[in-house]
Amino acid sequence: MASVRASGPMIAMKDVGKVFDGQPAVEGLSLTIETGEIVALLGQTGAGKSTVMNLILGQFAPTTGTIVVDGCDPFRDAAALRGKVAVSFQTDRLLPWRTARRNVEIGLEILKRPKKERPTVAADWLARVKLFEQHHDKFPHQLSGGMRQRVSLARALVIDPDLILLDESFSQLDHVTSRILRADFHSLVRQLRKTCLLITHRIDDALEMADRVILLAAPARIVTEMQITDQNRADAEWLTAKSRELAGEMARVQSLQTSGVPEE
């Protein structure tokens, strides 16, 4: 059963800053993500993407500013967000001694779903992410990288979260496998009307999945935003042009940061 959530944006960050040992990692970041929106935070390594994600997860409090996730302060009200936010990481993080199905059951166990329901629910979600039934009772070492990542995504979705965070979830896969998995996941998220925040350094991940791409530069601040429609996604020439545009902007930002010249 879907959880009942507060009205308003799924994520609202206002003038957020985060400082570690005197060094700013996030600076004056204001960001709103609406319910049902798929947003990509794009940037080079060190741009502060993971820090932003950890702030949203409530791993630590912001130094300045405010963050509201699904109507709650993620740092102070972590318990209220339990079961409402799920994460899939760059590495699948599957437990090697559990089968694919038993790995997906973990979230159901944590939420204390009835034991007799767990195998059926887990199998249903594995089917939804297109992992064939003959692989459900295989162990992680018996699965390909793409299959393991499908299990990881099913494990995130099985708790029926309001918000899904993808932390470089497709970046360790080859481009063909990554493209197929991105398309399958995008279709499923659209069908389920979930809110999704994608953290990535890969332009193709962002363009092929997101409604909105936000380019970050260190310390995490917004450089540019780009809206994307499904019609845009179907236009190969548009995608190529925007990919070049984003690549050029990322290179420009990287060059300025390397040279120490402040961005105008």
d(CA 103, CA 95): 7
Backbone angles phi, psi at 63, to 5 degrees: -75, -40
pLDDT < 70: residue spans in the chain: 1-7, 259-264
Other beta carbons less than 10 A from residue 124's beta carbon: 12
Look at residue 171 in the predicted model and tell me its pLDDT.
84
Backbone angles phi, psi at 130, to 5 degrees: 65, 40
Other beta carbons less than 10 A from residue 5's beta carbon: 15
The stretches of the chain forming alpha helices (DSSP H) are 49-57, 100-104, 106-110, 118-128, 145-157, 175-192, 203-209, 230-233, 236-259
Look at residue 254 in the predicted model and tell me its pLDDT.
82
Sign of the alpha-carbon dihedral angle for 122, 123, 127, 133: positive
Sign of the alpha-carbon dihedral angle for 231, 41, 103, 157: negative
Look at residue 2 in the predicted model and tell me its pLDDT.
44
Other beta carbons less than 10 A from residue 83's beta carbon: 14
Tokens found for residue 147:
């299959």
Look at residue 258 in the predicted model and tell me its pLDDT.
72
Strand arrangement, sheet containing 64-69:
23-33, 11-20, 64-69
Look at residue 259 in the predicted model and tell me its pLDDT.
64
d(CA 131, CA 154): 9
d(CA 222, CA 214): 7
Please list the residues that pair with 197 across neighbouring strands: 39, 165
Domain boundaries along the sequence of the chain: 7-84+163-264, 92-160
Q: Evaluate if pTM is beyond 0.85.
A: yes
What's the helix, strand, coil split of the chain in %, to 5? 40, 25, 35
Tokens found for residue 75:
């740092």
Other beta carbons less than 10 A from residue 91's beta carbon: 15
Tokens found for residue 32:
């709103």
d(CA 239, CA 233): 7
- Which CATH class name applies to 7-84+163-264? alpha beta
DSSP three-state, residue 39: strand
